[in-house]
Amino acid sequence: MADTPDYSWPSMESRKAMGKSIKRLDGPVKSTGRAKYTSDLRPRDMLYAVYVHSPHAHARVTGVDTSDAEKSAGVKAVHVTAPAGTEVQYQGWEIAAVAATTEQAARVAAGRIRVEYEVLPHLVKDDDLSKATGRTKQGGEKVVGDPDETFKNAEVVSEGQYGIPIANHCCLEPHGAVIQWQGDKVYAWPSTQDVTTWATQLSPNIKVDATNIKVKMDYIGGGFGSKFGPDAWGETAARLSQKAGGRPVKLFLERDAELMIAGNRPPAYGKIRIAGKKDGTITGWQSDTWSTGNMPLPYIIDQIPNMRIKHDTVSINSGPSRAWRAPNNQQLSYLTCSALEDFAAKIAMDPIEVFKKAVEYAPKARVELYKYQLDKAAELTDWKNQWKPRGSGSGTVRRGLGLGISAWGGAGHNSNCRTTINPDGSVLVEIGTQDLGTGTRTIITQVAAESLGLPMGKVKLVIGSNDLPPDAASGGSSTVGGVTVSTRRSSVNALAKLFEAAAPALSAQPADLEAVDGHIRVKGSPNKSMTWETACKKIGPGKISEMGSFNRRQPAPGMNDQGVGGVQIADVSVDTETGLVKINHYTAVQDCGLIVNPRLAESQIYGAIIMGISTALYEERFFDQQTGKYLNADMEFYKLAGIGDIGDIKVHLDIRPENDKRGVIGLGEPPAVAICAAIGNAVTNAIGIRVPHIPMTPSHVLDALEGRIA
Amino acid sequence: MQPFEYANPASVQEAVALLSPRWGQADVLAGGTDLISCMKEHLHTPKRVVNIKNIKELAGIQKTAGGLRIGALVTMDELANSADAKGEYKSLAEAAGGVPSPQIRHMGTVGGDLCQRPRCWYFRNGMGLLAMKDGKSLIPEGENRYHAIFGSGPAYFVSASSLGPALIALNAKVKLVGPKGPREVPVSAFFVAPKDEASREIALQPNEILTEILVPAGATHSATYEVRQKEALDWPLAAASVALTMKGATVGSARIVLGHVAATPWHAAAAEKLLVGKAINSANAEAAGKAAVGDAKPLSQNAYKVTLAKTAVKRALLDAVKKA
């Protein structure tokens, strides 16, 4: 393997660009409004498209009459997506769309489409199985060991009921695209988490070769797992463009449709019983849960010797579910950690100690890590002095502390990068990836600059197009692990070529050269050196252009890794006369590998916790079962946390040599997992009684305090 | 939003002439924080929008010995920070300052606060002010988390006004100008619980403009306490405004009005009666809070609001007598 260049990361101490808290490169263009998101685009001759959505939660379309709309002023195309016979499964289902010269003209025309429905019975609420007759599917029962005997002979059995509802993604930029279908070519500007395979997903639906679909996206206003494909609206926009003679068409969902149809996170409800000993040892687990999807319990501590696990699914007439920042983990963490906290309270033991015993049932590789993190989190929050047994507080406003734990993968995805070095010294790095707002642009540039021994400003980066070397979807916190390795490899490969070109002038062998601070020099003889520009002049004619890849079937030990744990602690105050919950402090101890940029890593954790606090305290959909209507498909009563609602967040990034040597691991999702668990447990600790249902609203808190929960 | 004619009158008379004797024809635009949303949702589809922001006489706050005159175009932020309001009319300044989001406080006007439409989600989803289906309101068996805990229908929405309770507690009036000239209406009579879908929740006629608010002097102590879940944009869950005339250490007279708990601001007469002749302390404030919600009739999902209203009364009373 002598010919294989050494791609391994520079040592922690020697890094110049990596490991530094560099501000995100696109911060200024984003904060000044100069960054153009897809929904900002307005190419020449663009048409505006507007959807007609089903007002019914469940119905059969019996007729769609578009004749008036077609004659409406400014209309260039009408496309029916749900013809007569279609069974509509939720409010907001797309029926037809109109493209017109102005937004107003499109709206007027959409209002002239007449749709007839045969209304069918609906179920829009998922929290009461007794009202879901005919809508449930039993998932069977999983039995491990002897749960019956264990519960019968247990020293202690704790029991609780818990619920966490559907949450919407609430991307600031709704779902949509601008698309132009001209002849046999399609130009698409989608808002997507997957620039590379967007075209291959659309291709079979519109029967255009994927090679003829050009995809470009510079900036995306949020995805959170809900923007992986072209979706129905991608195809609809394409068809409208084709019908309109190839004019570009912009089709973005309105805010209400965005909440109704563009994704939600499944709920989880149910009862959990834990059997154990008074010393905190857990001996048995029993859960009986339901959701609109699967919920494999228990979370993390899945090696409990005796278990009975039952889970049913229920189908309701609300929009389809989609991946939401660490899919299902927030729900699973909430159910599991709530049950653990209730067990700890039952035996009057410090939950830190109970969790430390419980994580003995976690996958072996992470048992010690969780124990370390629990101690670390306890130390950072002064848990020993600050935590008080459940309900021991008095007064109107009571303080409580609560725990939550998380697990995630974060392995890198397949990625290809091209690094080009020109004779004038300029450097171009190209990857068909996307920056979801996480700082991917900055990270790639840091890795390239580090690898080439150049300042950040010397590296030009191009991402966001399927003409570029293919990358993959930004999902599962996989981007950073993929793009850092492909960028490192392509840059090291390109540098090797530059060394070959420059070596004769330095009277050295290429293998003896190194690139440091904008110079190419002989290792160990810093005097034998030339500037980067002088070295690049030796390239000509032509240029150096080298590829580098990461393929997840060929692991890159030391370069990237997967599998992280985390512990979080919420410190809250609960006003027992209003049920208002305020976050005093929120502390996150996050396992991570090599940190390319501590500022951006912390920023990911802040963002995840802010999103989590919002779900823990505010976010809730309200459906009226009588009419099937989603009543708060807006950002007024679908409440989102604002800056004043967040409290103080403390992040502990675990930067240690033993973590660094694992390589790069994704961080977008793991810190978003444990928040409902930690806050729910903190509220319970404060007021002495379990508030079973997330979010922790005045209504839910007071209903629990005043005994209105059945 | 539907296309509309946009009118820019310079005087109240001119503005009134541009309005219509029937609802639905013309709408008055001041701060626009509610009207624009209503128009975007097609809840209001006026043929004409009458912008009153250029009418100079609708601006400004004036204080006299007799009371406070507040022009309809005064913004919530101006009122919240007005030195004239802050001392003697503390409850009013607090109510204005409690309105969430700096954007709404800076754009929203006091006239608009009184005239805004209810936030009821059945109404905002186009199901009507009373949310009737087959002759029956959808609300009692529906999603009523944020709805009324007082009154017996058919209106179950809650009055959205933040200033209403404080103004009623202070015995304020509003001046309404129509084609036949001005009239003064006590704020307590300005809010009405509609009995049918054709009625409005305020006494303003479609061809009238609310021009000013007149607040008499008199109360020696006042306060408003609002329970709102979020710091960021959010609507209150319940509020209470109190205005007291203290005789030494005891209450000479008291006015207590609850907000966001009924189709109109809700006058808590039983609580007022209980306080006369008594000192304001924790026990009496608690008792007044209890009395204020004595006849509450919560719906299936909003019993918690009874506790919030009770707490708001207690805390407003204690705030009113707290030494600054």
Instruction: Mark yes or no for CB contact B142/A624 under 8 Å.
Output: yes
Residue B97 lies in a domain: yes
Same domain, A457 and A395: no
- The predicted pLDDT at position B1 comes to 86
From the CA of B182, how many Å to the nearest CA of chain A? 36
Same domain, B59 and B92: yes
From the CA of A467, how many Å to the nearest CA of chain B? 40
**In the predicted model, what is the mean pLDDT of chain A?**
96
Same domain, B120 and B97: yes
Number of neighbouring beta carbons within 10 Å of residue B311: 24
Domain boundary among B175, B193, B216: B216
Cα–Cα dist B111/B12, whole Å: 14
Burial per residue of A242-251, b for 16 or more beta-carbon CB atoms within 10 angstroms, e otherwise? bbbebbbbbb
Q: Residues near A119 by Cβ (< 8 Å), separated by ≥ 6?
A: A56, A58, A59
Q: Which residues of B touch A634 (CB under 8 A)?
A: 124
Beta bridge partners of A37: A219
Residue B37 lies in a domain: no
Q: In this structure, which amino acid lies at residue B166? A: A
CATH number for position B225: 3.30.390.50
Domain boundary among A524, A550, A576: A550
Domain boundary among B216, B237, B258: B216
Closest by Cα among A266, A397, A387, A268 to A338: A268
pLDDT band at A3 (very low <50, low <70, confident <90, very high): low
Closest by Cα among B166, B157, B145, B160 to B263: B157
| Contacts by A627-630, CB closer than 8 A, 24 or more apart | A627/B127, A627/B133, A627/B138, A627/B142, A628/A56, A628/A57, A628/A58, A628/A91, A628/A122, A628/A124, A628/A317, A629/A55, A629/A57, A629/A91, A629/B125, A629/B127, A630/A91, A630/A92, A630/A124, A630/A256, A630/A259, A630/A260, A630/A318
* Count of structural domains within chain A: 3
Identify the burial level of B102 via C-beta atoms within 10 angstroms of its C-beta, where 0-12 means exposed, 13-18 middle and 19 or more buried: exposed
Cα–Cα dist A218/A216, whole Å: 7
Same domain, B81 and B209: yes
Same domain, A89 and A225: yes
- The predicted pLDDT at position A655 comes to 86
Q: Among all chains, which residue has been given the structure tokens 């924080």?
A: B33
CB-side neighbour CA atoms (13 Å) of A663: 22
Same domain, B167 and B297: no
Same domain, A76 and A193: yes
Q: List the strands of the sheet with A114-119, edge to edge.
A: A87-88, A59-65, A114-119
- The predicted pLDDT at position B323 comes to 73
Same domain, A529 and A571: no
Domain boundary among A225, A252, A279: A252
Residue B100 lies in a domain: yes
Q: In this structure, which amino acid lies at residue A446? A: Q
CB-side neighbour CA atoms (13 Å) of A70: 10
* Count of structural domains within chain B: 2
Q: Among all chains, which residue has been given the structure tokens 């004595």?
A: B294
A704 to chain B: nearest residue by CA?
Answer: B304
Same domain, A92 and A234: yes
B131 to chain A: nearest residue by CA?
Answer: A627
Please give the interface size between A and B, counted as residue pairs whose CB atoms are below 8 Å apart. 87
- The predicted pLDDT at position B324 comes to 58
Closest by Cα among B224, B235, B232 to B145: B235
Task: Choose the closest CB to B227 out of A578, A637, A640.
Answer: A578
- The predicted pLDDT at position A320 comes to 94
Sign of CA dihedral A547, A550, A551, A556: positive
Same domain, A508 and A565: no
Same domain, A398 and A499: no
Same domain, B266 and B295: yes
Residue B256 lies in a domain: yes
Domain boundary among B170, B193, B216: B216
Residues 566-605 (A) with a CB less than 8 A from some CB of B = 577-580
Q: If DSSP codes are grouped into helix, strand and coil, which group holds residue B139?
A: coil
Contact A509, A503 (CB under 8 A): yes
Residue B242 lies in a domain: yes
Q: Which residues of B touch A706 (CB under 8 A)?
A: 303-304, 307
Instruction: Mark yes or no for CB contact A632/B121 under 8 Å.
Output: yes
| Residue length of chain A | 710
Identify the burial level of A613 via C-beta atoms within 10 angstroms of its C-beta, where 0-12 means exposed, 13-18 middle and 19 or more buried: buried
Helix-helix angle A479-502:A440-452, to 10 degrees = 30
The H or E element spanning position A355 is helix A351-358
Residue A145 lies in a domain: no
Q: Check if B138 contacts A (Cβ < 8 Å).
A: yes
The string of pLDDT tens digits covering residues A666-689 is 999 999 999 999 999 999 999 999
Q: Check if A184 contacts B (Cβ < 8 Å).
A: no
Q: Token digits for B178?
A: 């129509």
The range of the structural domain enclosing residue A516 comes to 12-35+413-550
Same domain, A612 and A487: no
CATH number for position A192: 3.90.1170.50
Same domain, A51 and A187: yes
Could you tell me where the beta strands, DSSP code E, fall in A165-212?
167-168, 176-182, 185-190
* Cα separations in angstroms, A254 against A157, A175, A251, A268: 49, 9, 9, 28
Residue A47 lies in a domain: yes
CATH number for position A374: 3.30.365.10
The string of pLDDT tens digits covering residues A581-633 is 999 999 999 988 999 999 999 999 999 999 999 999 999 999 999 999 999 99
In chain B, the N- to C-terminal Cα span, in Å, equals: 48
- The predicted pLDDT at position A1 comes to 41
Q: Check if B103 contacts A (Cβ < 8 Å).
A: no
Same domain, B81 and B230: no
Same domain, B202 and B67: yes
- The predicted pLDDT at position B219 comes to 86
Same domain, B184 and B60: yes
Q: Residues near B219 by Cβ (< 8 Å), separated by ≥ 6?
A: B88, B91, B169, B170, B243, B244, B245, B255
Residue A157 lies in a domain: no
Same domain, A417 and A378: no
Proportion of chain A in helix, strand, coil states, percent, rounded to 5: 30, 30, 40
The range of the structural domain enclosing residue B311 comes to 221-321
Q: If DSSP codes are grouped into helix, strand and coil, which group holds residue B213?
A: strand
The string of pLDDT tens digits covering residues A302-349 is 999 999 999 999 999 999 999 999 999 999 999 999 999 999 999 999
Q: What is the mean pLDDT of residues A157-186?
A: 97
Same domain, B102 and B211: yes
Same domain, A88 and A194: yes
Same domain, A519 and A660: no
CATH number for position B123: 3.30.465.10
Q: Check if B3 contacts A (Cβ < 8 Å).
A: yes
From the CA of B126, how many Å to the nearest CA of chain A? 10
The string of pLDDT tens digits covering residues A442-482 is 999 999 999 999 999 999 999 999 999 999 999 999 999 99
Residue A282 lies in a domain: no
Q: Token digits for A303?
A: 């090696």
Q: Which residues of B touch A255 (CB under 8 A)?
A: none
The string of pLDDT tens digits covering residues A62-121 is 999 999 999 999 999 999 999 999 999 999 999 999 999 999 999 999 999 999 999 999
Same domain, B199 and B227: no
Same domain, B115 and B67: yes
Q: Among all chains, which residue has been given the structure tokens 């105050």?
A: A573
Number of neighbouring beta carbons within 10 Å of residue A454: 25
Same domain, B133 and B279: no
Chain-centroid distance, C-alpha A357: 30
Chain-centroid distance, C-alpha A628: 29
Residue B189 lies in a domain: yes
Residue B240 lies in a domain: yes
Beta bridge partners of A94: A53
Residue A31 lies in a domain: yes
Q: What is the Cα gyration radius of chain B?
A: 19
- The predicted pLDDT at position A709 comes to 85
Residue A357 lies in a domain: yes
* Cα separations in angstroms, A552 against A234, A270, A306, A547, B44: 29, 37, 36, 17, 56
Q: Which residues of B touch A631 (CB under 8 A)?
A: 121-122, 125, 143
Model ipTM value:
0.97
Residue numbers of chain B with a pLDDT score lower than 70: 324
Domain boundary among A550, A575, A601: A550
From the CA of A637, how many Å to the nearest CA of chain B? 8
Residue A170 lies in a domain: no
DSSP string, B231-277: SSS---SEEEEEEEEEETTEEEEEEEEEESSSSS-EE-HHHHHHHBT
Closest by Cα among A516, A545, A511 to A530: A516
pLDDT band at A2 (very low <50, low <70, confident <90, very high): very low
B232 to chain A: nearest residue by CA?
Answer: A642
